[in-house]
Amino acid sequence: AQSVAQPEDQVNVAEGNPLTVKCTYSVSGNPYLFWYVQYPNRGLQFLLKYITGDNLVKGSYGFEAEFNKSQTSFHLKKPSALVSDSALYFCAVRGMEYGNKLVFGAGTILRVKS
């Protein structure tokens, strides 16, 4: 089976400060890992993915994520948060043996205050 945990329901950060949204996963074999963002009344938007290679992945809007195989984590980071980053963030995993079936975490609300 494959699963994703996002341990924080909400993360609060001041504008200009670095942010981290946590994600851990469980899957047999090597994972494909994804981050998506959802703004109110919108669908999910793809931010970045880890497939293989460099553990630090860079994505849209200045976001990046670090794959840590030993800790089975894929935390989302940004060096300097913007108020416009406030949204709902989802981590997702797909094990290579699961075809194109993606499993999502419960989501983390990010609030950036000015």
Partner 1 sequence: ETGVTQTPRHLVMGMTNKKSLKCEQHLGHNAMYWYKQSAKKPLELMFVYNFKEQTENNSVPSRFSPECPNSSHLFLHLHTLQPEDSALYLCASSQPTGSNEQFFGPGTRLTVL
Interface residue list for partner 1 (CB under 8 A)? 4, 32, 34, 36, 41-46, 49, 51, 90, 94, 96, 98-107
**Residue 82 beta carbon to partner 1: minimum distance, rounded to whole angstroms:** 20
Specify the pairing of strand 108-113 against strand 10-14: parallel
Nearest to 60 by CA among 31, 40, 32, 89: 89
Distance CA 77, CA 28 (A): 25
Residue whose CB is less far from partner 1, 85 or 105:
105
**Residue 112 beta carbon to partner 1: minimum distance, rounded to whole angstroms:** 22
Residue whose CB is less far from partner 1, 29 or 114:
29
Which class for 32: exposed (0-12), middle (13-18), buried (19 or more C-beta within 10 A)?
Answer: middle
Distance CA 89, CA 9 (A): 10
Residue whose CB is less far from partner 1, 18 or 46:
46
Nearest to 20 by CA among 61, 75, 85, 70: 75
Residue whose CB is less far from partner 1, 35 or 81:
35
**Residue 17 beta carbon to partner 1: minimum distance, rounded to whole angstroms:** 27
**Residue 73 beta carbon to partner 1: minimum distance, rounded to whole angstroms:** 18
